[in-house]
Structure 1
């Protein structure tokens, strides 16, 4: 699960930044798609734009992770498993039960 988070979270942040920059310069009411004016509400345009930016950023983060040397990936796994805030909580054995 943490591998998914390592890809999705940076992509989410980058998509948010791209969204802000893009729609600061472009009015959603003046967007054209295939030569036709987009007839969506502003919220629908912002949401669709964010999801598209997020998909592009996920692709970028995924390629970065895939191209990392295996030694770096293993070091990340080791550090993540040692830190309790990054690791999956370990199951505790029930007290007083024999197996």
Structure 2
């Protein structure tokens, strides 16, 4: 299930990052970019690559948040300790769901 959830996050984020890359660099020349008033000392290809990974990271965070918010209360509140190994005073002992 974790692999499937990971793909729910990574794959759409990858596609959106690719589209963002095309849109941004259709309007912005990487050679004209400056950082704190100084030109970036990177090649165009390096700027394209870094920008893609920044876009991918931001869109992955968005997809991860969406996936987290889509979880059911049972998934969020599920106890990771097997029932047989829970302490006697565990509030989840005896609960069935």
Q: Is residue 2:26 matched to residue 1:16?
A: no
- In structure 2, runs of 5+ residues without a counterpart are 76-97
What's the TM-score once normalised by structure 1's chain length?
0.69
- Cα distance in 2 between the residues matched to 1:69 and 1:7: 13
What's the TM-score once normalised by structure 2's chain length?
0.70
Greater Cα radius of gyration, structure 1 or 2: 2
Residue 69 of structure 1 deviates from its aligned partner by 4.4
Q: Deviations over 1:16-43 (max 9, x none)?
A: 0000000000000000112211121110
Aligned residue pairs total 72
Which runs of 4 or more aligned residues in structure 1 lie more than 3 Å from their structure 2 counterparts after TM superposition?
A: none
Match of 1:35 among 22, 34, 37: 37
Partner of 1:48: 50
- Cα distance in 1 between the residues matched to 2:26 and 2:11: 23
1:40 match: secondary structure: coil
- Cα distance in 2 between the residues matched to 1:26 and 1:39: 17
